[in-house]
């Protein structure tokens, strides 16, 4: 099969177009003919390498996958060849307490496709059958590939962790990212007033289109001052963050009493300073979140099928242009997801 592989860490030139044998499957596995995948910041980190993190090179990147079942193992009965499916990205043991409680993303053996094992930037991907979910007929492959990781991540952050309630104020940091655009929609669906930050008037307009009530251009305005104005000096109830160090102290200060800061990433750095006086005096909660439960992906795809949630796709490119896709995301020249289509 044709695929993209990383043999060593570095720049976009380390994304190599390759051809390797199609994966074989065991009795409890499914082989999927990938029809669409997408770029996430995780793909950039895997390609660039991270201090202290060892990736199993050579590796096929790509965390999102939607496609058609090509083959099923002998013990697989919930899907068959020809079915349209989406892949749940997290591979867990399936038998520990967390897995049996439905919290599979807390499993000690939890691993992601495209990070710890070969991913979706390929014509085919093989995964355990429990990671395969049927795709609603009215959800396109491109839509599913643009949704799975970012909506699952945002769902756990806002629904399970922060438990956003109607009429609360939610600040979504970085509206143009995939997870940011998902967070805007989910917070709005939950009945919150949604404040967002972004870097240009063009991105601000698009953020409003998908549900943002108030938009702050962090390049030209003070985010904290605008938040004070919009909330009558109260602060926001929830900060939805994936940026990390560069804005961490400001995020803490912008929270209202009893507020919650929920974070799923640290694209600007992971060493953040916290003034604990704000935390205990204002009785704040700092919540970490990674991915989400496989079962929630079913709910999300049904909501997308009903038109209640809609992933934002910046553009669709052939998989052969994966280097361009990485560069676009790296430079922040996108709003929403870059989707890739294997040839």
Q: Are 277 and 304 within 8 A, CB to CB?
A: no
Separation CA 106–CA 171 (nearest Å): 26
Tens digit of pLDDT for each residue in 47-77?
999 888 999 999 999 999 999 999 999 999 9
Cis check for the bond before 177: say yes or no (omega within 30 of 0): no
For 2-135+312-341, CATH gives: 3.90.180.10
Is 163 a residue whose pLDDT tops 90? yes
In the chain, the DSSP E strands lie at 2-6, 15-19, 29-38, 66-72, 84-87, 90-91, 111-112, 124-128, 132-134, 169-172, 193-198, 214-217, 236-241, 255-263, 285-288, 313-318, 337-341
pLDDT given at position 330: 93
- 238 forms bridges with which residues in the sheet? 170, 260
Tens digit of pLDDT for each residue in 288-336?
999 999 999 999 999 999 999 999 999 999 999 999 999 999 998 899 9
Angle at the Cα of 91 (from 85 to 95), degrees rounded to 5? Answer: 115
pTM score of the predicted model: 0.94
Domain with CATH 3.40.50.720 in the chain: 152-288
- Split at pLDDT 50, 70, 90, the class of 86 is very high
Tens digit of pLDDT for each residue in 222-242?
999 999 999 999 999 999 999
State the distance between the two ends of the chain, measured CA to CA, in whole angstroms: 11
For 152-288, CATH gives: 3.40.50.720
pLDDT given at position 229: 96
Is 265 a residue whose pLDDT tops 90? no
Q: Are 341 and 317 within 8 A, CB to CB?
A: yes
Domain with CATH 3.90.180.10 in the chain: 2-135+312-341
Separation CA 62–CA 113 (nearest Å): 7
Q: Return the C-alpha torsion angle 180, 184, 189, 191, nearest 10.
A: 130
């Amino acid at each position: 099969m044709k695929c993209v592989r990383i043999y060593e860490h570095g720049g976009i030139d380390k994304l190599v177009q390759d051809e390797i044998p199609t994966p074989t499957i065991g009795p409890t596995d499914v082989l999927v003919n990938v029809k669409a995948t997408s770029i996430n910041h995780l793909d950039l980190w895997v390609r660039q390498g991270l201090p202290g993190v060892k990736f199993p090179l050579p590796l096929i990147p790509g965390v999102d996958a939607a496609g058609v079942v090509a083959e099923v193992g002998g013990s697989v009965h919930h899907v068959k060849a020809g079915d349209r499916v989406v892949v749940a990205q997290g591979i867990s043991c399936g038998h520990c307490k967390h897995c049996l409680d439905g919290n599979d993303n807390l499993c000690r053996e939890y691993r992601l496709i495209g990070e710890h094992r070969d991913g979706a930037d390929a014509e085919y991907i093989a995964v355990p059958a429990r990671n395969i979910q049927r795709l609603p007929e009215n959800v396109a492959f491109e839509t599913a590939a643009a949704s799975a990781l970012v909506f699952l991540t945002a769902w756990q952050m806002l629904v399970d962790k922060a438990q956003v309630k109607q009429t609360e104020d939610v600040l979504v940091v970085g509206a143009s990212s995939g997870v940011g655009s998902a967070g805007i929609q989910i917070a709005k669906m939950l009945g919150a007033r949604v404040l967002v930050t972004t870097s240009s008037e063009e991105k601000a307009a698009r953020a409003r289109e998908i549900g943002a009530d108030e938009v702050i251009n962090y390049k030209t305005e003070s985010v904290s001052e605008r938040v004070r104005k919009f909330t009558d000096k109260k602060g926001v109830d929830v900060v939805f963050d994936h940026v990390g160090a560069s804005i961490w102290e400001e995020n803490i200060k912008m929270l209202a009493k009893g507020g919650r800061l929920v974070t799923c990433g640290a694209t600007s750095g992971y060493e953040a300073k916290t003034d604990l006086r704000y935390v205990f005096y204002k009785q704040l909660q700092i919540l970490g979140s990674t991915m989400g439960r496989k079962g929630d992906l079913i709910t999300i795809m049904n909501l997308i099928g009903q038109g209640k949630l809609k992933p934002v796709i910046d553009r669709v490119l052939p998989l052969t242009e994966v280097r361009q896709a990485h560069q676009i995301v790296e430079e922040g020249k996108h709003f929403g997801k870059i989707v890739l289509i294997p040839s």
